[in-house]
Amino acid sequence: MDTQTQMTVLDNGNIRIDIPLVIKHKRGRKVIIAPQCLDGENADAEPLAQRALIKALVRAHAWIKAFEEGQFASVSQLAETLNLDRAYVGGILRIINLSPEIQQGILDGTEPDGLSINKLKCAIPSDWNEQRQLFKCQRM
């Protein structure tokens, strides 16, 4: 992405100003991200990564590891131990089925536009190409 603002004088005398920006959906709202934020020049800029998605992804990996180590025998036991709703725990565990590209995108803040925990509550296809279609993302 060209991050430089460009000004052009058109043949009819009008001035055209091109300001590069990115529009992302975060927490159900559209957010305009200026080039300085993308390049890291603006230290006060809100991070692009969605903390809730990152937290859910980290939890999913930690919980799967706990299952692999034999700490829990079932999702119900894990939910009871954590004092969380079983459906919530199951929904978070489902995130582990996301393709590595989408998981990395969540960590980097480049996840598919509009991806949220609510959207991940649906059944996640095991085929990564189907996931790209479902979440409307290009190959990362």
Q: Tell me the pLDDT tens digit for each residue of 12-33.
A: 989 998 877 777 766 667 777 7
Average pLDDT over residues 101-130: 84
Which DSSP symbol is given to 67? H
Which DSSP symbol is given to 125? P
From the number of C-beta atoms within 10 Å of its C-beta (0-12, 13-18, 19+), residue 39 rates as exposed
What residues are paired with 23 via a beta bridge?
A: 32
47 Cβ contact list (under 8 Å, min separation 6): 109
Supply the pLDDT for residue 65: 94
Domain boundaries, the chain: 1-48, 49-140
Supply the pLDDT for residue 137: 72
Residue 7: its H or E element: strand 6-9
Supply the pLDDT for residue 113: 73
Which DSSP symbol is given to 58? H
Supply the pLDDT for residue 41: 55
Q: Tell me the pLDDT tens digit for each residue of 42-87.
A: 555 555 567 888 999 999 999 999 999 999 999 999 999 999 999 9
The more confidently predicted of residues 23 and 99 is 99
The more confidently predicted of residues 10 and 137 is 10
Angle of CA points 108, 61, 129, to nearest 5°? 60
Supply the pLDDT for residue 45: 54
The more confidently predicted of residues 84 and 3 is 84
Compute φ and ψ for 32, nearest 5 degrees: -90, 125
Supply the pLDDT for residue 28: 64
From the number of C-beta atoms within 10 Å of its C-beta (0-12, 13-18, 19+), residue 94 rates as middle
